[in-house]
């Protein structure tokens, strides 16, 4: 088990101490615990904090708590989370000069004081339990930070430059400029956060979606609870009613949607490696496309903010790793999803077959009766019409088996991407409002409780307002 003992370097050597043959390899550069040489010459103490080089620790069995370390940390295959408390360096998502690379850690890192942690705290049911994950792409091994815009296009600058605030619910009102740090945190309750930060505004049919990012341009997009037929064949859609459920429309008109506007709904995106999950999310959230493959390590997520029927609504889109070796990390984030998007490559039949396993894994962590399912064929631009027809037949069969709604998209051209996410947002919103109405039960949201001290029954629901539009 333990290798034959190797001669150690001379004590006092200026070289790093390397112990070969132990179960755990330790390479400590600039260790502060170096023993003094036998001749008594005091050896210069090279404190870890002063080390000119990054500390490299392989497989250390102990948790490391690094308080305000001024140095970059490179941690490979650590089984323990790195806990960074009150780091003096700003951990702004954009342009951090300090590479942080964590490969294969099975537990989320806890970053206290991170601006992202506040986002996670907004809704503990949908947010990760220990702060938001710092999603990473594999090219970070090179030390470059991927927190800035990814190559492949000019990412709209929600996190850079200026964004526009939309000051009316209808998306046609006054606009004003605001620096990102002036914006309401995503986690702020949306009712008070109006005017909403940039995002999508969805209305009942006929409708328009307004997208105002740094470009300030308004994009019209058709939206309906029924997707346009060119996007989706009838048999592929699970929900065939013409518009939102009447109870939902009514509740929105009367502003009786309870906590829906305060919640962040979690959507997870799963599927084989390289099927295009990241590109799909990036096409919608950043309007970018990267033709270079960079494997997602663990998970990453994007927030997207909508306004549906005048009610603010947020989706948290979780991009999970498709590579087997990162699956165990990614699967810890499956819990609490309200919608599951299973992606396969329209040009790779094996990836379609694997979707059932992806669904089974995702459902282990979620309630199958309440979660919305979507089966998405990606890279439509690479299929010829004839190939597509063949694949669509198989995909529809699988979708019906799993009771998922089927979509075919291309992140390269953008075909159906926006329509698809609008659909996800609309159906998730509808499910949320219906659940909220269900939960409120006998006592309707918005009712006033009058307390009458002369009455034996102290708690009376007073004057239930008869709804003018609810069935
Ligand atoms: N032609 C074409 N290529 C695509 C499309 N979507 C993704 N790709 C390419 O497919 C490769 C993989 O895309 P990713 O989005 O990184 O795949 P992924 O599913 O996130 O992969 P993992 O992170 O390993 O799970 C990249 O080279 C993309 O450029 C598409 O719609 N059309």
ipTM of the complex, rounded to two decimals: 0.99
Indicate the average pLDDT of the chain. Answer: 62
Q: Is the CB of 381 under 6 A from ligand 1?
A: yes
DSSP 8-state code for residue 172: -
415 pLDDT higher than 50: yes
Closest atom of ligand 1 to CA, residue 382: 1
- Euclidean distance between CA atoms 382 and 413, whole angstroms: 10
Do residues 444 and 464 lie in contact, with contact meaning Cβ atoms separated by under 8 Å? Answer: yes
Residue 1: burial class (beta carbons within 10 Å; 0-12, 13-18, 19+): exposed
Burial of 24-39, coded b for 16+ CB within 10 Å and e otherwise, reads eeeebbbbeebeeeee
Q: Are 100 and 143 in contact (CB under 8 A)?
A: no
Using a 6 Å cutoff on CB, does residue 377 contact ligand 1? Answer: no
Which among 150, 272, 291, 293 is the best mutation to test ligand 1's pocket, defined by most ligand atoms within 8 Å of the CB? Answer: 293
- pTM, two decimals, is 0.57
Residue 325 has pLDDT above 70, yes or no: yes
Q: CA 427, CA 236: separation in Å to the nearest integer?
A: 15
**Cα(296)–Cα(301) distance, rounded to whole angstroms?**
11
Count the neighbouring beta carbons within 10 Å of the beta carbon of residue 230. Answer: 9
Q: Which atom of ligand 1 is nearest to the CA of 413?
A: 31
Per DSSP, 412 falls in state: T
pLDDT digits (tens, 9 = 90+) for 104-128: 333 333 333 233 323 333 333 333 3
What per-residue string of b and e applies to 70-95 under the rule 16 or more CB within 10 Å gives b?
Answer: ebebbbeebebbbebeebeeebebee
Residue 169 beta carbon below 6 angstroms from any ligand 1 atom: no
Q: What is the pLDDT of residue 296?
A: 92
Ligand 1 atom closest to Cα of residue 279: 15
Q: How far is the CA of 127 from the centre of ligand 1 (A)?
A: 26
CA atoms within 13 A on the CB side of 1: 2
Q: Are 305 and 262 in contact (CB under 8 A)?
A: no
Question: How far apart, in whole angstroms, are the C-alpha atoms of residue 139 and residue 19?
Answer: 30
Ligand 1 near 347 CB (within 6 A):
no
Kindly report the number of other CB atoms within 10 A of residue 442's CB atom.
7
Q: How far is the CA of 276 from the centre of ligand 1 (A)?
A: 3
pLDDT digits (tens, 9 = 90+) for 225-236: 444 444 455 555
> In angstroms, what is the span from residue 217 Cα to ligand 1's centroid?
27
What is the percentage of the chain residues whose pLDDT exceeds 70? 42
pLDDT band at 251 (very low <50, low <70, confident <90, very high): confident
């Amino acid at each position: 088990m333990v290798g034959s003992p190797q001669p150690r370097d001379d004590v006092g050597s200026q070289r790093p101490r390397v112990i070969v043959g132990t179960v755990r390899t330790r390479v400590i550069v600039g260790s502060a615990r170096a023993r003094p040489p036998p001749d008594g010459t005091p050896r210069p103490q090279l404190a870890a904090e002063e080390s000119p080089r990054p500390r490299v620790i392989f497989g250390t069995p102990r948790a490391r708590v690094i308080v305000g370390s001024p140095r970059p940390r490179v941690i490979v295959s650590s089984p323990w989370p790195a806990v960074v408390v009150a780091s003096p360096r700003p951990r702004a998502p954009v342009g951090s000069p300090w590479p942080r690379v964590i490969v294969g850690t099975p537990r989320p890192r806890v970053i206290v004081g991170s601006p992202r942690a506040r986002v996670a705290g907004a809704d503990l049911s949908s947010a990760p339990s220990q702060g938001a994950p710092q999603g990473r792409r594999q090219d970070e091994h090179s030390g470059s930070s991927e927190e800035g815009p990814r190559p492949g296009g000019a990412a709209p600058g929600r996190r850079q430059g200026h964004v526009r605030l939309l000051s009316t619910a209808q998306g046609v009102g006054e606009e004003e400029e605001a620096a990102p740090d002036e914006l309401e945190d995503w986690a702020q309750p949306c009712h008070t956060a109006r005017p909403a930060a940039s995002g999508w505004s969805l209305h009942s049919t006929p409708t328009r979606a307004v997208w105002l990012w740094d470009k300030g341009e308004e994009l019209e997009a058709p939206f309906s609870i029924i997707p346009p037929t060119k996007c989706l064949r009838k048999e592929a859609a699970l929900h065939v009613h013409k518009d939102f459920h009447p109870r939902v429309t009514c509740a929105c008109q009367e502003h009786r949607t309870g906590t829906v506007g305060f919640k962040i709904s979690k959507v997870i995106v799963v599927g084989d490696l390289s099927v295009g999950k990241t590109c799909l999310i990036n096409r919608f959230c950043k309007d970018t496309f990267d033709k270079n493959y960079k494997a997602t390590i663990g998970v990453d997520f994007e927030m997207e903010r909508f306004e549906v029927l005048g009610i603010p609504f947020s989706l948290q889109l979780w991009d999970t790793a498709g590579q087997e070796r990162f699956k165990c990390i990614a699967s810890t984030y499956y819990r609490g999803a309200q919608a599951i998007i299973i992606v396969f490559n329209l040009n790779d039949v094996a990836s379609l077959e694997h979707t059932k396993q992806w669904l089974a894994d995702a459902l282990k962590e979620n309630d199958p009766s309440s979660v919305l399912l979507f089966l998405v064929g990606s890279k439509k631009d690479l299929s010829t019409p004839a190939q597509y027809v063949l694949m669509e037949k198989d995909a529809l069969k699988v979708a019906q088996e799993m009771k998922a709604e089927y979509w075919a998209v291309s992140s390269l051209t953008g075909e159906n991407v926006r329509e698809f996410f609008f659909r996800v947002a609309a159906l998730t919103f509808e499910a949320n409002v219906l659940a909220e109405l269900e939960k409120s039960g006998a006592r309707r949201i918005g009712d006033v409780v009058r307390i009458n001290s002369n009455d034996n029954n102290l708690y009376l629901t007073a004057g239930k307002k008869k709804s003018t539009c609810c069935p």
